[in-house]
């Protein structure tokens, strides 16, 4: 008999003790309740700790309980704070009202999304890249499509990720069974190839020493480092994928924040249509984090080793596992891409970029080395020799500012913290003051 003691994060679950016959007994042998004979998914068992962002929220809540009167500044989870321009919310409100009319009522839309929106995305974000509307699939956010892509790919895939990177790539990889066991000594999953991205290599992996994998997750501008890969770097990446017969899953969720000439899409690189899927989002570009809207591009030329087009399988997944994004959110997306909507959003993006500059300047004035912030709404701050969870905890405790420990994005993020530029200006300025007070 094996004793298993569990604590649910929410609610009051009893302690369970179970035997082989899957009944539960308390320590004195009294039966407590029914236990199914359904084995827990070994992949779920293999997941390490909680998903990063809910974990940060939990720490936030604990801090608030400890200091109920402190004025907390949230520069942790990259959550937009500024109002959405009127022209966009009016379009969503109009769509809502129309649903109460016989003429304006709409039921199921196409699972792949409204074709007008798909074409507007092709025209706005992929001008001169030859993308067609039918290659663009509207989603309820990039994170959701990462999981749908993982369902599409299945367990029998080798995967490479940037280290550090957005944790959903690895976590979804573990869930579908691609990752192998977690190894405590390296803090890495056995079967995942970690492509280290550091200031030393220009935040771009040394591809000459990178193993061949089926799938390469690549995020640019990168979350968390804020680095936007250059045209030359992305050309190398596409050539690497082509030579290895790999598929790149390119995450361009932060493309709107690029200030220099770095590519905003992988499809700016010749040949990318044959090797790359691109996922992207309205979340950070349009403040749609709560409205939920994104898209995924699967070019017709992208085929599996047997010649079968990936787009056909992705279409099947979208039809079977998804039923389209909310039609109200899609109406908003269309308004985002109108000339007036687009211009208004650029002002909001510009506001967050000014925030980013204030944050970068603050940490630099403290003598710290700061990356990112220029092409992304995140500053990536180096605290040499210090554990990132300790730095996170120290900043929270001493300044009531929530950041994110770099190691939450992979072992390559150790010694760093990620600071989000999403916030009201007065909060950013107040954060700057508190940090300067504490560190000087």
Site for a copy of itself in 344-403 (CB under 8 A): none
Q: Which of 187, 239, 300, 414 binds a copy of itself (CB under 8 A)?
A: 300
How near is the Cβ of 353 to a copy of itself at its closest, in Å?
18
Q: Which of 18, 196, 210, 230 binds a copy of itself (CB under 8 A)?
A: 18
Q: Confirm or reject binding of residue 93 to a copy of itself (CB under 8 A).
A: yes
> Which residues between 214 and 233 bind a copy of itself (CB under 8 A)?
214-215
> Which residues between 132 and 161 bind a copy of itself (CB under 8 A)?
132, 134-135, 140-141, 143-144, 146-148, 151-157
How near is the Cβ of 394 to a copy of itself at its closest, in Å?
25
> Which residues between 172 and 201 bind a copy of itself (CB under 8 A)?
172, 175-177
Q: Measured between alpha carbons, how far apart are the two ends of the chain, in Å?
A: 57
Q: Confirm or reject binding of residue 327 to a copy of itself (CB under 8 A).
A: yes
How near is the Cβ of 380 to a copy of itself at its closest, in Å?
21
Q: From 60-68, 98-106, 121-129, 409-417, give the range in contact with a copy of itself by CB under 8 A.
A: 98-106
**Cα angle value 48/11/41 (rounded, 5°):** 35
Beta strand segments in 5-133, E: 16-18, 23-25, 31-34, 73-74
Residue 329: DSSP 8-state: H
Whether the CB-CB separation of 89 and 336 falls below 8 Å is answered with no
Count the residues of the shown chain that bind a copy of itself, applying the rule CB under 8 A: 127
Which residue bears the tokens 């050539």? 239
Whether the CB-CB separation of 280 and 267 falls below 8 Å is answered with no
Residue 112 phi, psi dihedral angles, 5° rounding = -80, -10
How near is the Cβ of 4 to a copy of itself at its closest, in Å?
5
Which residue bears the tokens 């001493």? 398
How near is the Cβ of 405 to a copy of itself at its closest, in Å?
18
How many alpha carbons lie under 13 Å from residue 334 in its C-beta half-sphere?
A: 19
Q: From 196-204, 224-232, 316-324, 393-401, give the range in contact with a copy of itself by CB under 8 A.
A: 316-324
Q: Which of 162, 178, 223, 246 binds a copy of itself (CB under 8 A)?
A: 246
Q: For helices 168-176 and 142-153, what crossing angle results, to 10°?
A: 30
Q: Which of 31, 58, 66, 106 binds a copy of itself (CB under 8 A)?
A: 106
Q: How far is CA 327 from CA 96, 147, 193, 296, in A?
A: 9, 21, 39, 17
Q: Confirm or reject binding of residue 429 to a copy of itself (CB under 8 A).
A: no
> Which residues between 21 and 40 bind a copy of itself (CB under 8 A)?
22, 24, 33-40
DSSP class per residue in 181-215: -EETTTTEETTEEEEE--GGGTTS--GGGPPP-SE
Q: Which of 60, 315, 361, 394 binds a copy of itself (CB under 8 A)?
A: 315
H helix runs in 262-309, sequence order = 283-286
Beta strand segments in 94-135, E: none
Q: Confirm or reject binding of residue 336 to a copy of itself (CB under 8 A).
A: no
Q: Confirm or reject binding of residue 68 to a copy of itself (CB under 8 A).
A: no
């Amino acid at each position: 008999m094996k004793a298993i003691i569990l604590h649910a994060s929410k609610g009051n679950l009893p302690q369970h003790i179970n035997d082989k016959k899957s009944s539960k007994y308390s320590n004195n042998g009294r039966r407590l309740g029914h236990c199914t004979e359904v084995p827990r998914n070994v992949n779920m068992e293999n997941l390490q700790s909680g998903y990063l962002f809910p974990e940060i929220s939990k720490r936030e809540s604990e801090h608030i309980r400890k200091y109920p009167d402190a004025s907390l500044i949230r520069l942790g989870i990259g959550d937009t704070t500024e109002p959405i321009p009127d022209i966009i919310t009016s379009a969503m409100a109009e769509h809502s009202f129309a649903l109460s009319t016989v003429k304006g009522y709409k039921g199921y839309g196409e699972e792949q999304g409204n074709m007008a929106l798909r074409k507007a995305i092709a025209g706005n974000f992929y001008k001169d890249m030859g993308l067609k509307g039918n290659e663009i699939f509207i989603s309820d956010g990039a994170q959701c499509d990462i999981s749908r892509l993982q369902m599409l790919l299945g367990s029998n895939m080798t995967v490479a990720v940037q280290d550090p990177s957005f944790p959903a790539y690895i976590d979804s990889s573990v869930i579908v069974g691609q990752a192998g066991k977690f190894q405590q000594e390296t803090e890495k999953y056995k079967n995942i190839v970690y492509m280290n991205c550091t200031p030393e290599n220009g935040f771009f992996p040394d591809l000459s020493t990178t193993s061949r994998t089926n799938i390469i997750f690549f995020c640019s501008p990168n979350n968390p480092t804020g680095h936007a890969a250059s045209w030359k770097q992305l050309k190398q990446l596409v050539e690497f994928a082509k030579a290895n017969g790999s598929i790149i899953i390119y995450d361009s969720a932060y493309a709107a924040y690029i200030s220099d000439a770095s590519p905003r899409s992988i499809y700016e690189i010749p040949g990318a249509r044959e090797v790359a899927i691109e996922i992207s989002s309205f979340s950070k570009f349009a403040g749609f984090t709560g409205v939920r809207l994104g898209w995924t591009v699967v070019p017709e030329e992208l085929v599996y080793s047997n010649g079968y087009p990936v787009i056909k399988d992705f279409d099947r997944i979208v039809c079977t596992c998804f039923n389209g994004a909310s039609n109200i959110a899609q109406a908003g997306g269309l308004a985002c891409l109108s000339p007036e909507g687009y211009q208004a959003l650029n002002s909001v993006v510009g506001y967050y970029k000014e925030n980013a500059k204030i944050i970068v300047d603050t940490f630099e004035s403290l003598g710290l080395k700061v990356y990112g912030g220029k092409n992304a709404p995140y500053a990536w701050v180096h605290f040499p020799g210090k554990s990132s969870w300790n730095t996170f905890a120290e900043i929270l405790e001493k300044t009531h500012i929530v950041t994110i420990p770099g190691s939450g994005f992979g072992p390559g993020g150790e010694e760093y913290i990620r600071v989000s530029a999403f916030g009201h200006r007065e909060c950013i300025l107040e954060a700057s003051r508190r940090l300067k007070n504490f560190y000087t």
